[in-house]
Amino acid sequence: MREVAIVGVGMTRFGELWESPLRNMFTEAALTAIDDAGVDHIDSMYVGAMSSGLFVHQEHIASLLADYLGVAGIPSTRVESACASGGLAVRQAVIEVGAGVSDIVLAGGVEKMTDGVDAIDALATAADQEYEAFHGITFPGLYAFIANAHMHRYGTTREQLADVAVKNHDHGSLNPKAQFPFKITREAVMNSTMVAWPLRLLDCSPVTDGAAAVIVTSMDVAEKLGRPIVKVLASGHATDGLALHSRTDPTTIPAVGRAAEIAFKQAGLTPEKIELAEVHDCFTIAELVVTEELGFVERGRSGEAVSSGETRLGGRIPVNTSGGLKAKGHPVGASGVAQIIEVVEQLRGSAGDRQVEGARIGLTQNMGGSGASCVVHILEGVS
């Protein structure tokens, strides 16, 4: 594999973007990334989208978006892996450039979720239809099972779950692109509307519109562009069964552990070397389990770690400095790409008030459903 870099990033604001159709959102993010990279063309593109058919009744979007971007004719591929679609789109671009097939590839993600469809019903199609969704369980319900198991097994508390949301809203309050750029209190989380015990409204990521894109190039091309270079040290990908009941231990998300193991091996690094991470906090419990799977904290200790400040800005390993899915928003197909953008900004030293001083190595973890797919990237700032 050739060495691969990310040289350009762009994203829309995340939120309820009533005035922006899906194609406009994607084009805005893509043009910003192209401009940021300073490239005059792209060889091909990937689009991560979970369910444009259900959300806006539009399929065949890889060609549609290439055309709308003004590059019709180049290869354009849609990538779907539920909420991991964006991370997987970036991985496909990394593989294509790494393999020497293309030199400059755009990887983007987009989702338009607030246009009036039943978003919760659409999202439930990423669960096992016959064993889960058909019986009425939604993603808040599935993650509530995981939370109950974690609380029972390790003594994780309701307050510790709340502290994940408080931390991510603190970080999100520093992010002008966030859907909810404001702080919340532990009490507000604990008193918010019950969704599925123990998860309340403020434990959940919201329903969001948005798009994000990055430009992936070979190291040779990157060096000629004269822009800040962030090197892709590793890209790990793993899958698991869709149905939560098939998991032997519901306090774990094995695909995360597997994708991380592959990525750490590729990068020749251990979890202690990671200086910041963007992880898939679709629900507060998800961030806790994921930080354990990634090896940032011991199993069962993640609740304690968040409440003691280990995972907040200024802590031992800052997690979700962007505000995460919780505060920044979760336009499902775009989320994995937006995670990469936050880490790129951090490694370039351009994250503003959210900057982790001197950060050189960061990790992203993006997953689909209750963990049936997972993509982990490790990035290094080199200039």
Active site amino acids: 83, 330
Cα angle vertex 150, ends 149, 151, to 5°?
90
- The overall longest dimension of the chain from CA atoms, in Å, is 56
- Report CA torsion sign: 180, 182, 186, 192: negative
23 or 169: CB nearest ligand COA: 169
- 230 bridge partner residues: 6, 381
- Determine, following the binding rule CB under 6 A, whether residue 180 of this chain makes contact with ligand COA: yes
Minimal distance, residue 369 CB to ligand COA, in Å? 6
The tokens describing 373, both together, are 């797919």
178 or 351: CB nearest ligand COA: 178
Minimal distance, residue 35 CB to ligand COA, in Å? 31
The tokens describing 165, both together, are 């949301």
Applying CB under 6 A, among 17, 34, 89, 207 the residue interacting with ligand COA is: 207
Q: Show the binding pattern over residues 30-69: x = contacts ligand COA (CB under 6 A), - = does not.
A: ----------------------------------------
Look up tokens 């998991």; give the residue: 247
Applying CB under 6 A, among 206, 250, 303, 324 the residue interacting with ligand COA is: 206
| Residues of span 307-346 touching ligand COA by CB under 6 A | 330
Applying CB under 6 A, among 204, 259, 374, 379 the residue interacting with ligand COA is: 204
| Residues of span 105-134 touching ligand COA by CB under 6 A | 120, 123
DSSP state of 146: H
Q: Show the binding pattern over residues 79-98: x = contacts ligand COA (CB under 6 A), - = does not.
A: ----x---------------
Q: Where are the alpha helices (DSSP H) in the chain?
A: 22-37, 52-56, 61-69, 85-98, 119-123, 139-154, 158-172, 186-191, 219-225, 254-267, 284-293, 302-307, 324-328, 332-348
Binding residues for ligand COA (CB under 6 A): 83, 120, 123, 139-140, 180, 195, 201-202, 204-207, 282, 330
